[in-house]
Amino acid sequence: MLLLLLAAAVLAAAWSQRTLVSMLRSAEAEAQAVRAGEAAQAGLAWGQALLQGSEALDADCAPPSANAAGAGSGDMRAVPAQVIADALAGAGAAPLEAGCHHTAGAWVCRCPRRAPAAEPPGRAVAPEPLPAADDGPAFRVRWEAAGAPGRLRLLATGCSRARPPCTAAAETAGTGTGTDAGRPASRDGAGLATAQVLLVRLPVLRRPPGAALTARGRVDAAAAGLGLHNADAGSLGLAAQLGGRLEATARVSTLPGGRPEGALVEADAALAATDEADFYTDHLGSDLADWAALPGVRRLTRTDDAARTLAGWLNGAGGAVRVAAAGELRLEGPLQLGTPAAPLVLVVDGPLHLRGAVRVHGLLVARTLRWDDARPDDGAGVRGAVLLGGDWLGDAAPDLVRDDRLLQELASRAGPWVRMPGSWREP
């Protein structure tokens, strides 16, 4: 009887031990799956954030320093965010991949370099291999063309530990999902998870201004000789559209054969009666505060050296640089802001004061603008457009030239990337 009781006790203990081991394994597997899922979600957020910038990136997904090796070489520079979006917009574009893993208390990332000219279409452009890592989590992201302009598909694979496929390029060629087609099998006890989302691009401009200068208020530039120019037939060559009067000697040019006075619209009652917030929303798609909060918009603070900060953001940029400033902003020339390849979109929620030879390639938006001490022969001016919720003041004589190509670019390909509602899914 004692032997039977002892055998029963041993069997009960063995069964309890087996149940405990099974529960521990299940808990560990669940913990690894949750960790991998969070890594995949982090990959989606990181891959979306990487698209919001305009600066070139090095192989570590960071803006290279001026004296970094290869900083001036196109072969040694990683693909800028703008180039990612533009490259995938074409037919037969090769998917692009990047990856990160967490080690020694920090994330280490690798971004794709520029695709070689001999690279066959449809093959993923992979980043440099990640260095040796500990057992921290990792993720790999992949950008693919989504078959329509202004859309991208972002796929992320998360691993609870730094293991393939999070640390190796997908083997599948073409535009398929590779390792994202279904849930990958676990390897070495590491959990894996995948997720994907569609990204769509919001335009910087909801409605491009039809004139070189659009203001709800008046223009008081004394006898300075303000230059207003528009040779675009699509906008009827409109040089200025004002809610108030033009109290200045203006140098106006419009369509060939057009009359300069016909290119000026003054005392526009409908424009003057438009609510200021609606005026900004009509052109930008939101009020100034909401526009400043959009992804990828850089913010100038009162403590910044505005001219130096803007120059740093524009240096080496690969697309439109969007900047918001709250309160009064002052800039003094000589100063060059923006280029055809990297125009500046500056939105000032307050008065903007310019002095001297300030040259801007892009779009200026402000509540009011005062420009002083600029002559027609010193190159001061704006190539793009100016939008003012109030008045233009000062004694400067800059040239404002409406650039239709630039404005159409801002209205279609230069905005932030946001997730398409309902597009998230976990294969």
Contact 94, 125 (CB under 8 A): yes
Instruction: Kindly report, residue by residue over 175-189, the tens digit of the pLDDT.
Output: 333 333 334 444 566
Give 355-358's long-range contacts (Cβ < 8 A, gap of 24+): 355/330, 355/331, 356/332, 356/380, 357/333, 358/331, 358/332, 358/333, 358/334, 358/398
Residue 65 has pLDDT above 70, yes or no: no
**Please, which pLDDT band fits residue 119 given cuts at 50, 70 and 90?**
low
Mean of the pLDDT values across residues 269-276?
92
Residue 405 has which token pair? 């190509």
**Please, which pLDDT band fits residue 18 given cuts at 50, 70 and 90?**
confident
CA nearest neighbour of 123 among 85, 78, 77, 169: 169
Percent of the chain whose predicted confidence (pLDDT) is above 90: 27
Give me the pLDDT at residue 122, please.
46
* Mean confidence (pLDDT) of the chain: 80
Instruction: Provide the residue ranges of all domains of the chain, joining segments of one domain with +.
Output: 34-201, 213-412
More confident residue, 79 or 403: 403
Residue 128 has which token pair? 């440099």
Residue 331 has pLDDT above 90, yes or no: yes
Q: Rounded to 5 degrees, what angle do the CA atoms 366, 205, 230 make?
A: 75
What is the β-pairing status of strands 138-145 and 151-159? Answer: antiparallel
Residue 223 has pLDDT above 90, yes or no: no
Mean of the pLDDT values across residues 351-377?
91
Mean of the pLDDT values across residues 109-125?
60
Give me the pLDDT at residue 71, please.
40
More confident residue, 412 or 235: 235
**Please, which pLDDT band fits residue 133 given cuts at 50, 70 and 90?**
low
Is residue 130 classed as helix, strand or coil in its secondary structure? coil
Is residue 217 classed as helix, strand or coil in its secondary structure? coil
Minimum mean pLDDT range among 66-80, 109-123, 358-372: 66-80
Mean of the pLDDT values across residues 372-380?
85
Burial class of residue 22 (count of CB atoms within 10 Å of its CB; 0-12, 13-18, 19+)? exposed
Torsion sign (Cα): 271, 414, 65, 50: positive
**Please, which pLDDT band fits residue 229 given cuts at 50, 70 and 90?**
very high
Give me the pLDDT at residue 274, please.
92
**Please, which pLDDT band fits residue 124 given cuts at 50, 70 and 90?**
low
Give me the pLDDT at residue 378, please.
85
Is residue 319 classed as helix, strand or coil in its secondary structure? coil
More confident residue, 111 or 63: 111
Which residues in 254-374 belong to E strands, given as ranges? 264-265, 298-300, 321-326, 329-332, 335-337, 344-355, 358-372
CA nearest neighbour of 172 among 142, 150, 203: 142
Give me the pLDDT at residue 166, please.
81
CA-CA-CA-CA dihedral for 162, 168, 174, 176, to nearest 10: -20
Give me the pLDDT at residue 427, please.
64
More confident residue, 215 or 162: 215
More confident residue, 271 or 315: 271
Mean of the pLDDT values across residues 116-124?
49
What is the β-pairing status of strands 381-388 and 358-372? Answer: parallel
Instruction: Kindly report, residue by residue over 45-56, the tens digit of the pLDDT.
Output: 998 888 887 677
Which residues in 76-161 belong to E strands, given as ranges? 96-103, 106-110, 138-145, 151-159
Residue 171 has pLDDT above 50, yes or no: no
Residue 157 has which token pair? 């694979």
List Cβ neighbours of 63 (8 Å cut-off, separation of 6 or more).
55, 56, 57, 316
3-state helix/strand/coil string of 138-196: EEEEEEEECCCCCEEEEEEEEECCCCCCCCCCCCCCCCCCHHHCCCCCCECCECEEEEE
What type of residue sits at position 219? V
Residue 369 has pLDDT above 90, yes or no: yes
CA-CA-CA-CA dihedral for 203, 207, 212, 218, to nearest 10: -120
CA nearest neighbour of 345 among 296, 389, 378: 296
Mean of the pLDDT values across residues 407-416?
81
